[in-house]
Amino acid sequence: MAYEINGRCNSCGKCMSACSMDAIRRGWFGGYKIDPDLCDSCGACKWVCPQKAIVPD
C-alpha cells in the first residue's frame, strides 16, 4: 500500500527527508508527490508530516 500527499501539504520537506526509498519528489506547482512504484509503504513520511497530509493511496 503506497501513500499519497493531499492538499494539506505545506511543502515543509520533512517527508522527503524521511523517505529512505527516494520516492518523494517536489511537484511542478509546489507540494510533493510520492512515486507508488518506489514507495515501500514503510510509513516514515506519514509519521513525520506535521500537517497529517500523507494518507494511504
- Grid coordinates 524521511 are at which residue? 18
Q: Model confidence over 16-49: pLDDT tens digits?
A: 999 999 999 998 877 899 999 999 999 999 999 9
CATH tag, 3-56:
3.30.70.20
pTM over 0.75: yes
So what's the pLDDT on residue 33? Answer: 94
pLDDT at 31: 84
Q: What does the domain layout of the chain look like in residue ranges? A: 3-56
Q: Annotate 46-55 with b (16+ C-beta within 10 A) or e (fewer).
A: bebbeeebbe
Give the mean pLDDT of 1-9: 91
Q: What average pLDDT does this structure show over 8-18?
A: 95
Provide the b/e sequence for 36-45 (b: ≥16 CB within 10 Å): eeebeeeebb
Among 7, 19, 18, 20, smallest CA distance to 52 is for 7
